[in-house]
Amino acid sequence: MSDDQPSYGFETLQIHAGSKPDPATGARQTPIYQNTAYVFQDADHAARLFNLEELGFIYTRLLNPTVAALQERVATLEGGVGAVACASGHAAQVMALFPLMSPGDNFVASTRLYGGSVNQFNHAFKHFGWEVRFVDTEDLNAVRAAFDGRTKALFCESIANPGGYISDMEALAGVAKEKGVPLMVDNTTATPYLCRPFDFGADLVIHSTTKYLTGNATTMGGMVVDKGTFNWGASAKYPAMSTPHASYHGLNFAETFGPMAFTFFSIAITLRDIGMCQAPMNAFQTLLGIETLSLRMDRTCSNAKAVAEFLERHEQVEYVSYAGLANSPYAARASKYCPKGSSGIFTFGVKGGYEVGKKVVDNVKLFSHLANLGDARSLIIHSASTTHRQLTPEQQTAAGAGPEVIRLSIGLETAQDLINDLDQALKAATA
């Protein structure tokens, strides 16, 4: 969409951003460019592309027209200057940190994270020589104390999985700015329809596009979106982007590309060398999903609130952790950061602990028991025995995934049907 067009609403942009009629055929829907490489105009054209002097298509690991359309759409919806798609949400976390980190560096992360992220940060990243420092982000002094001279980023989730906790992004952005590092926010659970972290000071936004953006559990993908305002060349903290790069004959990404430095680095270096590109078919499926994002999220939030209010009154339920409830300790924060709704992910604690929790998931009939979220179908899982099983009991509790916790991902079904299914499962589990 051209710069001289009017400012469009979210619903218009979720359909049109990044999408134009195909110049070759006139096809209105973005085609699936299922190819690996592209013919150069001549030798000079090829040289300009490889020197990053001209933007164009070389090889699908770097850039593909279908993937490029998805990148532009998500960047537009988030309010960023650029975005880079990759193979999964975990790949996106690697992509976000790779330009920033060197062996011996560290980053600070919230304790309230998806269990897979905790494992990746705590174990896999050690192979890169990266250290994570987990902190309760409610304690800003503890966040500050976790920093040292080799801290390169601050990481949180907008709406944390599994407990629906909402991070105080504005406060965390203030700490990140004090320390001269970017605030990275995983916005998977909220989506840009419910929350735009850039509006509250975030510098990079991360998505598992596998979840709500696609919305139908068919397609893996990840995305990193750059706001374009962090000055990577302001200090010597980020040498990969602020000093001459040997593989491009001394090109300095921060000087050459300015606000687009992170995006160009991620394409020209991270995708080139790490190779976790997104497949064109996956990008196409995600583009289709995003066209109905606002409709799906409205229904998801409405259903989630109805189910959470029912569970709050249920005699077999100890508590419900959902920011969309009026009595939630995060209700005010939800109004500030997510005024349209608190998404469809939340947890509740069953009376009877671990064994009763497992029995509940064994007795549902409509809910699907599996490890995913953001599907059109409603999903259920006992976190302590599955997604957070590798964590210590202390880590499970800190992440909101204790032994009594059941996580729900509410879908698009009739709310009363979901309520009836949970009611019979709870009664069966405690019979």
Lowest mean pLDDT among 7-11, 54-58, 237-241, 380-384: 380-384
Distance, CA of 373 to chain centre: 12
295-429 CATH: 3.90.1150.10
pLDDT at 329 over 70: yes
- Cβ–Cβ under 8 Å, residues 252 and 282: no
pLDDT at 2 over 70: no
pLDDT at 16 over 70: yes
- Going by their DSSP bridges, the two strands 183-186 and 204-208 should be labelled as parallel
**pLDDT (tens digit, 9 = 90+) per residue, 206-224?**
999 999 999 999 999 999 9
Helical (H) or strand (E) element with 371:
none
10-289 CATH: 3.40.640.10
Q: How far apart are CA 133 and CA 131, in angstroms?
A: 7
The pLDDT score that the predictor gives to residue 394 is 81
Distance, CA of 348 to chain centre: 23
- Answer with the residue of higher pLDDT: 109 or 4: 109
**pLDDT (tens digit, 9 = 90+) per residue, 228-246?**
999 999 989 999 999 999 9
pLDDT at 3 over 60: no
Q: What is the pTM of this model?
A: 0.94
* Mean pLDDT for the chain overall: 94
Q: How far apart are CA 165 and CA 242, in angstroms?
A: 36
pLDDT at 397 over 80: no
**pLDDT (tens digit, 9 = 90+) per residue, 374-395?**
999 999 999 888 777 777 788 7
Domain boundaries, the chain: 10-289, 295-429
Q: How far apart are CA 381 and CA 360, in angstroms?
A: 9
Query: CA dist 54 to 50, 65, 82, 104, 264, Å?
Result: 8, 16, 16, 35, 12
Q: What six digits make up the tokens of 207?
A: 């998505």
